[in-house]
Structures are given as structure tokens and as C-alpha cells.
Structure 1
Amino acid sequence: MMSFKRSRVIGAVSVAVVGVALSLLGSACKSDRAVFSAPEETFIAAEVDAGECAAQCSLDGRSVIRSCDGEVIETCAAHLACGGGACQAPCAAAAADRSSNGCEFFFQIPRYDPAKFDQSCAATFVVNTSLEPVEIALAYEGRKLDLSGALFRTNPGDATLIPHTGPIAPGESAILFLSDRDPEVAPPSPYDLYRGRIACPSGVVPALVGELPGGTRIASAMHLTTNVPVGLSMIYPFGGARSFLPSATLLLPVATWAKQNMIINGWEANATGPASQIYASEDDTEITILPKVDIQGSIGVKAARKNMPVTYRLDRGQLLQLVQREELSGSIVESTKPITTFGGHGCAFVPSSDLGPCDTLHQQIPSFDQWGSEYVGVGYRPRFGNEHEPMAYRIVAARDGTQLDYDPEIPPGAPTTLSRGEVAHFVRGTGDPIVIRTQDAEHPIYVGAYMSSCTEGFNKVSFEGAGDPEFVNVIPSGQYLNSYSFYSDPTYKDSSLVIVRAKTRGEFKDVWLECAGQNLTDFRPIGTRGEYEFTRVDLAKSGQAGQKFGDRVCRNGLQRLKSDGPFTATVWGWDYAASYAYPGGMALRKLVNTPLDPIR
């Protein structure tokens, strides 16, 4: 008789889905809202030792099953979800499965350069990924904020805001308007119209109204909590093309934070300076940075010399924000308690030679042990149809002697070896996918992808106002999931959904997209090894609806995808001199076993 042990490892790739609302109504499609039905309790068979049969969660997160034959060991009660191979409370299940779905988040707007840009409207997109209604609480400096005028929903493909009251139903989404400056107070500069200022839409009462501090400082974070897991992303400023400076990020829950991190700035200094944020979720958190360059001090933030450790102390809900001309990317950060970092830029020219419009950059960065040794880079739908439209990929190495391999070939200018903390970038066509590998899991790297400016791309070609600089985390293949629920912003005229799937046990599994009402086709091979494929779906094009699938049409709004195999999904949106991008979700598994050397 086979024994079983509790586990979440499924072969080479862990497939983690916590209470994903696979059987719920909701769509971003033209037709009536279709049922998003749960798949049968299939699984990717685990490679287990003879005589063992690991317990794992079913793909819908509702049962504990045996990995070897799919037999149901336990069906979770309605108020529970499966996580870590066991039925438990939904938030505990999400924490056990370590993905971007969670119940507690800290974050703040990228208020990096207040001398140049006035504070604007900030919003989050909340997706209920559980089977129970979600209740949201938002606090700032320990004070619970009033959300009665801050929650709204939209219909598929329509940017019209509809007030929302009460909990968010299972599988549904809402826009939560976080903050804005007080419109009754005169702006700091008389040149308000030239400073990127965009207010929240008429009828919106954001949760927090007031001027938030910027620049290098210790500041207070927003604290969002829920009763069941949600997927959460933030965009700043909210408002599409009118915002001019937008950037978006997937937000990562506190349960996935760690004690070893590395600073990743958004880009090198040009229009303004690179920036980073470091957050604490517990009191008396000591954060030690080994800076690659001098840290420029400010009020409440002591300066530090290059390669000399410096320690800062944060309490729960505080963040250390560093904004300066010299880039800190590759600097190691150690802490006594789990923390998280964001990387950004006050307003970046990408490429740096461009002197046209710049954009804010802002991404939450996974911790060091969640970095991967293998990434697949694929770009958005090219802005003018040229699949060789150049975009940038930026790599940061965590260890000395990191060797890089590329498939199908080494791109011009791409590094083949990197040292600890070293930063490099190369340019590749949006439709010229690339697999980036290192020699092993103990030599992880960070990879980010970039859209260039609308006035001058990497090939010196103008895009006539379409899009602008943005960067997004490329998800390591070891952090792919098999189901995603996320929201694409309806205020943008163009939206491109990019899907990459990995081969499982020698075959590619179908990927089902709700707005298409079918499994996606037209997957294209990546590289020469045959391990990955990609496809794209238009959610909006030139201000019109997106891609048609028979009598269905995909549109901006709530999106859902599922598969029996691992894949990743990233949404890019752009408009006149504006763009945003973020992954639809990711696992946050520990992929690196050997920690970084302690800072001494």
C-alpha cells in the first residue's frame, strides 16, 4: 500500500492555485458572462520515490489529492481551501502556497521626485481569487480609512466607473482608489499643468486625501488586508493617456517576504534619478544595506559610503525610500525580519539617449531566494506591426561567476558572464523571443523587460506618440502558475496580453482564456530546445475592442486563464505617451537554497 506525505512539489514545477474561483461567473467578453468552469481534478504527476505518494492540492484548490493517481484524500469544507497539501483557512492556504494571491499587503505610491511632479491619483485593481466574498480594509499610519467613496467596478471594455458597495463577490474585481492630493490646496508649483498632475475621476473620493512626502526619506505605507485571498496590482497615476507618467506593478503579499533581498532600480539616471523602496511589516526591523555606490542621505536617512554596510531601523508599516543620481542596483539588503523591496525611477528616458517624454517606473521585486535561473522573454504586440521592434531586457546577477546562455542565439550586446550585483542590458525584437539561462539554480538572476519611449526607440525610430517607457518583472519559469485572474485597465486604447507556456512531461497543455471562450491557438515556438511557446491576445486595439474568437470579443477588464500545465501571463497597455505593464500573477517559491554571504 502506498503511503503519502504532504507536499506541494509537483515534478520540476510546483503548480500552486489557492482557492482560485474557477467555477464563477464573469468575463471581459462581448457575449453574456460565461461560466468559468473548474477543470477536472487533474494534476502533473510528481516524481516521488517508490512507495511514496505525495499529497497535493487539486488544481481548483478544493481538495487534497494523491499525486500518483489523483485520488481525493480530503475535500475541503466550503469555508476552507487547500494549501500546502492540507485543507485550512483561505488566508493560511494562500500563505502556505506562496503565490501573489494573499491577504495582507503594504505599498505606497512612487512619490520619487516631488520637485518635478505633483502628486496624482493612485488606484489598485482588486480581484477576488477565492470562493467567498472579500471584505477589504485599508489603513494608513494605523488609522482605518473610509472606503465608501473609493470602490468602483467597470463593465468589460468600458472605462465608466460604477460605484461598488459591500464585499466583492467571488471571482469579481473592483478598482480601489487609494489616494490623491487635496484639490482644495494650491499645488506646490504654479506650473501644475506641466508637472504630470492628474486627479482622480469625478465622483471618486479616494481613501486618503492629502500630500504624501517624496524623495529620500522614511515614510508610511498603505496597509491593505482582506478576509480571503485576492490578487492585487497598483497603477500610478490612474487615468490612461491623460496621466502621461503611469507605471503599474503586481503587489506581493507579506507572507512571501524574506530576509535577503537585492536592490533593483528601474533604470539608470537620466531625466531624474533611480529609486527604491524597502518595507517592513514588523516593528524593530533592522535593515542592513551593502551599497554598490554612496548612499546620499537626507532628513532621517543617514548617508553611507560605497561598500560600507549601513543599518536602518523600520517599524511595522514604514518604508525607506532612496532616490539619487547614482544607481544602487545590485546592492545586497539583509534584514532581521522579512521585508520587501520595490524598484523604480522618478521619470526615466528609455533609452537614455532619448530626450522626449519620460515615465515613472515602479515594480515590486521578489526576494533573492525567489529569483530564477531560467527566464523567457517575449514582447508585447509591436506598436506599429514590426515584430523586430527593439525592446530592452535588463539582467542583474546575484553571484560572482554567473554564466549566461541564450536560446536561440546570443543577442548583440548581451553579457555571457556577470559578477555579483553587476547590471547589464541588451536589446531584442518584441517578436523575437529569447530564453535566458544560467549554469544552475544557485546562480539566480533578475530579469526586467522594457518598452521604449514613443519619440525615440532603441533603433532611433519614432513611435509617433504610441506608448512610453515602462518596465516589468519577467517571471522565472520556476514561478509559473496554472491559473490567473487579473484586471486590464480599460482607460488605455491598446492592451496586449502575452502568454508563455512551458512543456510538461513532454507536451504543451492547452491554455483556456475566458473572454475567448476556448483554448488558445497560434502558439509559436521559442528557441531551439522546444521547451516553451508563446501567443498574444489583443484586449484592445487602437481604441476599439480586442481580438475576436467566433462570436466572442476580448476586451479590457477582468481576465481569467487556466491550464493543466504551467504558464505565465503579462498584460501591457499603452496610449498616447503612456504605458503600463504587470504580470497577471506568479508563484513565489523558494528556488535558491544557498543564501547570500552575510554582510560583514
Structure 2
Amino acid sequence: MLFAVLLCLTYSVHFSIQSPILSPSSTPQHENENKISSTNSDDWSTAASTHVVGILPMLTTQSISLVITTPETETVNFTVSNLTQTIANGSVTAGLLVTTGTNKKISVTVAMSHFGDYSAGMYVNYPALFYPVNSYVYYAVSIGTDESTSFSSLLIVSGNNNTNITITPTVTVTIPSSLTSSGNQISLNAGQSITIQLQYLETLLLKPVTARADLTGTKVESSNPISVYSGHTCGFIPVGQFARDFVGEQIPPVASWGNEFLVQSFYNRQTGYNKTNWITDYSLSLQEDDVLSQTISQTSCYINSTSSILIAQFSLAQFADFSFTSYGDPAMTIIPPLHQYASNVTSFPIISLLGASTSVNLVVLAADDSSQIQLNGTVLPSLTSSSWKHYNSSVGGCYVFNSYSLSGTGEVSVWSNNSNDKILAMVYGLQQFIGYSYTGNLDLKPSEACFLLCEANYVLNTDTCTCSITNICELSPCQNGGSCTLVSTPSNYFCDCTGTGYQGITCTNVNYIVPNISAFVSYVAVLYGSSVTLRCVLHHPGNPEATIQWTFAGSVITNNSLFHITEGSTRLDITNITTSYSGAYHCNASNVAGASVATIKIDVHK
């Protein structure tokens, strides 16, 4: 294994290389290379020749590092494009492309920190893999906060040109003008959907319009594999519990979710070891994109589901232990399903941020307890010893070695003498007010065959193993009296908002219309002391309905002994008129969309 760090401090680029070396290549990225390369259908490793990388925003960022390792036994050259991108004020302007340009593989881990704020975060970057599905579906996972300076975030990075992406948020978000068909910035409300198109390495960062809102459950569906990340710039777990920190992970597509998991406890935490968010396609108790949060005990937790789910584990805040001396702060880890444990050999880099202590939890799927496990050549206690906790699973015995402390830097290798075993490494970095976690190598193969049974009026999608309604119009998605027409089953529909006064995807946006008013005549001559009637005609009341006012000499006319307004304010009667009331009278119809004015001039003669 080779190891290197690409380090970016205060937004300028530096290279920090540790021997043995991964060499940054001097060959530039060709301009016409605008698409991620296809991955072999039977190769699902987190190590790949090409990585499209997104950098999630932190509340404050001092250091951003790309930790790059390789399973190859020889020097590997690589390039990193778009290093001139800027990250400021919570916005991410472009994706990164990390590639060897050959069939040589590398793994990429993103590490971020700010010493002054005692904030740290880390996540493994997955390659964009091609699954046998018609579309790629992702769901955001985040946390909450009780203050307004930080925010829940969802980052999308495209690895191809002309990638169509449909977004359905759980809270209101803003879609920038560059990505809307109208060319105007819009607010996309919870439950509404919009389809945008991203180009090669183009990004979209979503955050709630409302402070303290949580993007968890927001759905992203793409025509091509994309890189999707979600988390929080600096959140509380639980909300209001000191202290707060960055959490974030790359989100795997639904096609790679699983049914069987082992959630391990965080090292060196006294209480509230982890909190698990379960997002499910379908089950007896949860519907698609439902979320269940559950605090579990100090021991590991075995989870088996009837259909594919996504599990994210969170560490609680520093003072959740009611101790100033305990280690840890909010951290987030996507728990891989058992079927994605790679092989009898796994590896990971030791990454210490802000002086945090590093430890690893090991999970071994073994047919029996005779396997011998080594960590960097050191033989660990036998699987039958008290150092390991045993669980039964559908794929055999599951053994957990909880919290092996690590020291130094470099790469760690874990090996079993049984080639049929599979090993998972979960790495934790913990210090006072600091918490982060990441995994070793994974095998991101798709979930097992789908045996899901759908309820009446639902149809099974065997590509994603999800149930969807056969006719979405039965759910009345069109609001405010709009009429729903099914374009194609099961969920492509159109809302006709005609006559409702609303517009938009689901007839929820007010359709503003400027009123239209005119007058029968534009000039009237009358005698001194006589009476005169002025009328205007409202051709369209506008939306919302316009207010009509008469004005003279810059003042609004009201009913009195001289003036009398009737017929919905379209008629003005003037009695005993004098020469001082000669001039222009304006009939004004106005609403928030605009105004229409009809003018009638009166000449009073003696």
C-alpha cells in the first residue's frame, strides 16, 4: 500500500508527500474529457481510477485535505483538476476530479478541520459506479440545530454532461436562476419537484430557506450516477446539547442499500453511544423516504430489514456524557450493509485531526471461529476470546472487535488467514469537543434480489426494489383545485391550474395578473354648478383582484358631499361642480402585479 496527502491550507495549494509516494502527475487533464469512465460491472471497490469529489461546507474551514491511498504495490501518478475552486460563505463552486488516467486505482478521503473552532470532519469519497438501474436515487441525511448561523446541506456533483436530476426536498430550498427554465431564482417548497440539468463537474449546493430546518429525506433522482453528499455545517446532537460540530458523508444510491447491518458503538463514549437514522424504501412500518431516529445502547446493534434501507450512525455531543473529560462530539457515519464487506483483507489510512486519538472497530464475517486475524502483522486474540463479540447473521458468524487503539501515521492493513472471510474496519477519531469517523475499503455492489411485496394499488420497481403508486393522481398532488392528468405511470403527471388563480408544478404559486381598465370617454365638458358622471370599465380584475381608486390632483377621492363612488368603484358622480374641479381624473386599478389607469379630463365652463 502507498500513502500520500494532498493538502490545501487557507485556500492555497500545497503538496505534502509521505514516503512511499503517490506522485501528482504533470500531465494536464484534456479539455474534451468530460465524462467519468465506466467501471467494470463486477468491480465495486471504493478504490477506482477516477473519483468525482465534492467538498461539503463547514461553518468555518481552515484546512481541507485529500488523503489519497492506493492498493497498488507500485508508484501511481494522479491528477487533481479544478484546484483553483474557491470555497467561501457556505458555497461550493465546482467539483474536483481525481484520476490516475490509467487502470491503476486510488482511494480518496476528504478531511477538514478548523483549529480555532475545534471543528473536524472526514468522509470517504466513493467512485461513481454504474448499477443495472434506469435511474439513480439518493436520500439526504442530516441533523438539526437550534441556532441560525449553521445549516443542513446537500451537495450534488455531476460526473457527466447533460445529467438530468430531479430534486424533491422535505423543506423549502432555493434553486438558482442558472438552473431553472425561466431563468429566475425560485423557491422549491417541501414535496414539490424540479428537474435540473448539470454539466461535467458542475455542482449544486442546497440548504434550507428557513433557519434550523433539516434536509433529511430530501430525494435526488438522476439519469446518470452522480456524487451526492449531505450533512450539517455545525449541528447539535441532540439539538441544544453542547457542543456542536460538522457532520457529513457521501450518500450511496438506493441500488446499493442493503438489508442486514451491524451498528457498532463509538469508542470511549460513556452514554448515548450512537443515534441511528433509518431510511427505507418500503416495509411494514415505514413508507418510502420515511425516517426513523433511534438512540441505542452502548453495545453493538444487529439490524435486519425486510427491504433495502440506509443507516447513518451519529455520535452525540461532548456534554451528552455529562462529563467535561470524555471524548467526542457530533460525527456521522454511513453504516455499510454486510453484503458490502469487501474481502479477507482491508486497509485504511490513520488520519488524526487536531490531535484526536484514533481507534478502529473490526467486524469479521466468518464461517467459524477458527480464523486468525492480524492487524499490521500483529496477531489479534482469537475469535473465541472475550475481545470479540459474536452475532448470528444470514451469511454466517459475525464477530466484533471493539475499539483497537491506533498510533502514528500511515496505512493500516487487516488480514484474515481464511480467504472466505470478509472484514470491515470502522475508524474513529475522538478528542475533547472533536469527533469524526470513516470506513476502510468496501465492496459497493448492489443489494440482493428484491423479494418485496407491494400493497394494493402499488407497483414494484425491480430496479430499485421500491413500491410506487400506479396512478399518482389518486393522491391528489394538484393543489387549490388544480386538475391532475397522468402522463405516464406511475408518477409522471401534469397539473392544469386553469381558473384556479395559481400556477406552478402543483398549482401552489399564485399566478399574478395585472388588471386591465379603460374609460368610455377621455374628455367631458360641463357647465358650472351642474352634475357629471364618470365611468371606467374593468376588463380584467387581475390576480389577486385589483383595488380601484379615483384620484384628482394627486389626492385619492372619497365619498363626501361633492363626490359619490358606486358600482364597485367604477362610477364617480360629481355634484354642483365648479371650475376649481376642472382637470384630469384617474381611475386606478392596481394589485401586487401592477396597475392599469384610465384618465378622463373635465372642463367646467361658466
1:304 aligns with one of 188, 210, 214: 188
Q: 1:300 to 1:586 in 2, by over 3 A?
A: same
* In 2: Cα distance, 1:128 partner to 1:276 partner: 28
Judging changes above 3 Å, is the alpha-carbon distance between structure 1 residues 527 and 519 closer, same or farther for their aligned structure 2 residues? closer
Q: 2:373 aligns with which of 511, 521, 530?
A: 511
Query: How far did residue 599 of structure 1 move?
Result: 5.0
Whole-Å Cα distance in 2 between the matches of residues 599 and 318 of structure 1? 28
Q: Does the Cα contact within 8 Å between 1:512 and 1:519 map onto a contact in 2?
A: no
Q: Distance in 2 between matches of 1:337 and 1:422?
A: 24
The residue aligned with 2:94 is: 220
Q: Deviations over 1:108-144 (max 9, x none)?
A: 32225xxxx343210021111113321110001xxxx
For residue 500 of structure 1, report the CA deviation from its aligned partner.
Answer: 1.0
> Could you tell me which of 196, 220, 238 is aligned with 1:333?
220
* Mapped pair 1:472 → 2:333: yes
1:398 aligns with 2:281: yes
Counterpart of 1:436 in structure 2 is: 303
Q: Does 1:315 align with 2:178?
A: no
* Aligned-partner Cα distance in 2 for 1:214–1:586: 34
Distance between the aligned counterparts of 1:395 and 1:424, measured in 2? Answer: 5
Contact 2:360 2:425 in 1 (8 A): yes
Q: Does 1:534 align with 2:397?
A: no
> Could you tell me whether the CA contact under 8 Å between 1:243 and 1:578 is conserved in 2?
no
Q: Give the Cα separation in 2 of the matches to 1:326 and 1:242.
A: 26
Other-structure match for 1:496: 359
For 2:413 and 2:391, the matched residues in 1 are separated by: 27
Give per-residue Cα distances to partners, 1:132-177, cap 9 Å, x unaligned: 321110001xxxx5xxxxxxxxxxxxxxxxxxxxxxxxxxxxxxxx
Higher RCO (CA-CA < 8 Å; seq separation 6+): 1
Whether the aligned pair in 2 keeps the contact of 1:512 and 1:520 (CA below 8 Å) is no
**Counterpart in the other structure of 2:412:** 559
What pairs with 1:127-276 in structure 2 (closer than 5 Å)? 127-140=69-82, 208=84, 211-215=86-90, 219-226=93-100, 227=102, 228-237=104-113, 244-255=118-129, 259-271=135-147, 272-276=150-154
Structure 2, gaps ≥5 residues long: 5-36, 180-185, 450-461, 469-489, 493-606
Q: Select which of 156, 160, 167 maps to 1:278.
A: 156
Aligned partner of 1:589 in structure 2 is 445
2:223 aligns to what SS in structure 1? strand
| Distance in 1 of aligned mates of 2:92 and 2:87 | 12
Given the two structures, how large is their TM-score scaled by the length of structure 2? 0.61
| One-letter identity of the residue aligned with 2:257 | W
Shift, 1:296, TM fit? 3.4
Instruction: Give 1:102's aligned residue.
Output: 48
SS in 2 for 1:102: coil
The alpha-carbon deviation at position 429 of structure 1 amounts to: 2.8
The equivalent of 2:292 in structure 1 is 424
Q: Within the alignment, does 1:571 sit opposite 2:424 as a pair? A: no
1:379 maps onto 2:276 in alignment: no
Quote the Cα distance in structure 1 between the aligned partners of 2:422 and 2:324: 34
Q: Match of 2:314?
A: 450
Find the residue that maps to 2:339 and give its secondary structure: helix
The one-letter code matched in structure 2 to 1:323 is K
Q: CA deviation at 1:562?
A: 2.1
TM-aligned CA distance change 1:537 to 1:434, over 3 Å: closer
| CA spacing shift, 1:316–1:520, aligned 2, 3 Å | farther
The 2-side partners of 1:389 and 1:350 are apart by 10
Deviation at 1:337, TM superposition (A): 1.7
State the alpha-carbon separation in 2 of the partners of residues 577 and 557 from structure 1.
24
Residues 518 and 456 from structure 1, CA distance in 2 versus in 1: closer, same or farther, beyond 3 angstroms? closer
Cα 1:426–1:130 change in 2 (3 A) is: same
Distance 2:3 2:214 in 1: 46
Deviations 1:451-482 (A, max 9, x none): 1111234xxx2343622110111110010012
Equivalent AA in structure 2 for residue 275 of structure 1: S
Q: 1:562 to 1:293 in 2, by over 3 A?
A: same
Superposition deviation, residue 320 in structure 1? 1.3
Q: Contact conserved, 1:109 with 1:236, CA < 8 A, in 2?
A: no
In 1, Cα distance between equivalents of 2:448 and 2:215: 23
Q: Give the aligned partner of residue 229 of structure 2.
A: 342
Q: Report if aligned partners of 1:137, 1:225 keep a CA contact under 8 Å in 2.
A: yes
Aligned-partner residue type, residue 327 of structure 2: A
Aligned-pair CA distance for 1:357: 2.4
Cα distance in 1 for partners of 2:118, 2:54 equals 19
Distance 1:518 1:466 in 2: 25
Q: Which has the higher strand share?
A: 2
Name the CA distance, whole Å, in 2 between partners of 1:395 and 1:374.
12
8 Å CA contact 1:119–1:211 kept in 2: the answer is: no
Alignment TM-score, normalising by the size of structure 1: 0.61
2:346 match: 484
Percent identity for Structure 1 against Structure 2? 18
Question: After the TM superposition, which residues 359-374 of structure 1 pair with which residues of structure 2 at under 5 Å, given as runs?
Answer: 359-374=245-260
Match of 2:519 in 1: none
- CA gap of 1:556–1:451, structure 2 versus 1, over 3 A, is farther
Rounded to whole Å, the distance in 2 between the matches of 1:242 and 1:502 is: 41
Matched letter for residue 486 of structure 1: F
Structure (1 or 2) with the larger CA radius of gyration: 2
Counterparts of 1:108 and 1:591, CA distance in 2: 25
Which residue identity does 1:98 align to in structure 2? W
What amino acid does structure 2 have at the position aligned with 1:234? V
Match for 2:288: what amino acid? R
Q: Aligned equivalents of 1:370 and 1:136: distance in 2?
A: 27
Corresponding residue for 1:16?
A: none
Corresponding position: 1:111 with 2:53: no
CA distance in 1, matches of 2:188, 2:78: 40
CA distance in 2, matches of 1:533, 1:572: 19
SS in 2 for 1:569: strand
Kept in 1, the 8 Å contact 2:427–2:438? The answer is yes
Distance 1:375 1:518, change over 3 A: closer
**How many equivalent residue pairs?**
400
Q: Deviation string for 1:528-587 (max 9, x for gaps)?
A: 6673110035334xxxx5xxxxxxxxx443111123201211100112311210011211
Change in CA separation of 1:526 and 1:320 when aligned onto 2, cut-off 3 Å: farther
* SS of 2:129 mapped into structure 1: helix
Q: Answer whether contact 2:245 2:331 (CA < 8 A) is retained.
A: yes
- C-alpha RMSD of matched pairs (Å): 2.9
Checking the alignment, whether the CA contact within 8 Å between 2:372 and 2:379 is kept in structure 1 is: no
Q: Distance in 2 between matches of 1:418 and 1:350?
A: 23
- One-letter amino acid of the counterpart of residue 220, structure 1: A
Q: Which amino acid aligns with 1:125?
A: V
Corresponding position of 1:411 = none
Equivalent pair of 2:261/2:303 in contact (CA under 8 Å): yes
Tell me, in whole angstroms, the C-alpha distance in 1 between the residues paired with 2:92 and 2:196.
10
Shift of 1:435: 0.6
Does the 8 A contact of 1:263 with 1:328 survive in 2?
no
SS in 2 for 1:456: helix
Contact 2:272 2:320 in 1 (8 A): no
- Cα offset, 1:256, TM superposition: 5.1
Letter of the structure 2 residue corresponding to residue 398 of structure 1:
D
Distance 1:283 1:93, change over 3 A: closer
